Amino acid sequence: METSIEDVAQDAGSGAPPAEPPVESPAAAGPATVAEPAGAGDPAEPPVPVAQVPASLSPSRAGDFMQCPLLYRFRVIDRLPEKPSEAATRGTLVHAVLERLFDAPAAERTAPRAKALIPGQWDRLKETRPEVGELFADDPDGERLAGWLGDAERLVERWFTLEDPSRLEPAERELFVEAELESGLRLRGIIDRVDVAPTGEVRIVDYKTGKAPRPEYAEGALFQMKFYALVVWRLKQVVPRRLQLVYLGSGDVLTYDPVVADLERVERKLLALWDAIRLATETGDWRPRPTKLCGWCDHRAHCPEFGGTPPPYPLPVRPAASG
């Protein structure tokens, strides 16, 4: 599962086009740290995040750069903190419930059982990510939290109108995948579900808690899935038979059957994108690209488009060529 400003905008009912979804994989999550020299600072203070040169690409980060290069810089290089949102956190909760439901025997994978998993998964999420508890800090009576959990229940319940989990036996759930291309570019991400037919055909499935995109935006919505298909193809030498997006917000299922030519086009696009990222990293030239999605961005205070100033660039900058 990957989360983005687009996903949050969808869940908030903005009508914004759900382009390539942008959260890095577990292996890439969490900022690098550097130890303070002896005697420096307060020993009780946490390690200070350190900027790193980008070393891999996920669908989230690719989507960030295509949406706004400066957003990519803020997230990947500056590692600026972002507040949790109700929409993105609800998506994380629903994904956890759908993943855990498959622990039960097929006959017990029912809507009531799935909804019963929500309180426990919410408690687990608060334990692993204490910051999400701040979402309802100003809700002493729990009324807003109850409504939010009710929305999660409705999304989980709708899933049963789209798929029958009693007839599914996923080969993988929340699968971390990583592949290195011949160019040296490493691609990585997390696939919500992988189904493998008895004949060996592979289906990649992703759950979305927002609404399905309009037809003119379908290609953007499929970018993440084609990215995963490319990684699987490079790892296993098998082209997935089907890519499937399950939209719980609107009750739609979007499918696409890729071919090798599709994946080769995606690979060329990612290589060009990576060249642009490397150039921006070396020169420090990260241009903001304002869109209506800016309204959901946590970093407007640092963005020149909103009168802000980015933090000092934390990486060496290559001098401009003379002559």
23 vs 139, residue with greater confidence: 139
What sign does the dihedral 158-159-163-166 (CA atoms) show? negative
For residue 127, pLDDT over 60 is answered with yes
pLDDT tens for 239-266 read 999 999 999 999 999 999 999 999 999 9
47-54 contacts at long range (C-beta below 8 A, 24 or more positions apart): 49/79, 50/314, 51/77, 51/78, 51/79, 51/314, 51/315, 52/77, 53/77, 53/281, 53/315, 54/277, 54/278, 54/281
Under a CB-based contact definition with an 8 Å cutoff, are residues 64 and 280 in contact? no
Under a CB-based contact definition with an 8 Å cutoff, are residues 319 and 285 in contact? no
**Residues of the chain with pLDDT > 70: what percent?**
83
pLDDT tier at 322, thresholds 50, 70, 90: low
207 vs 5, residue with greater confidence: 207
For residue 4, pLDDT over 80 is answered with no
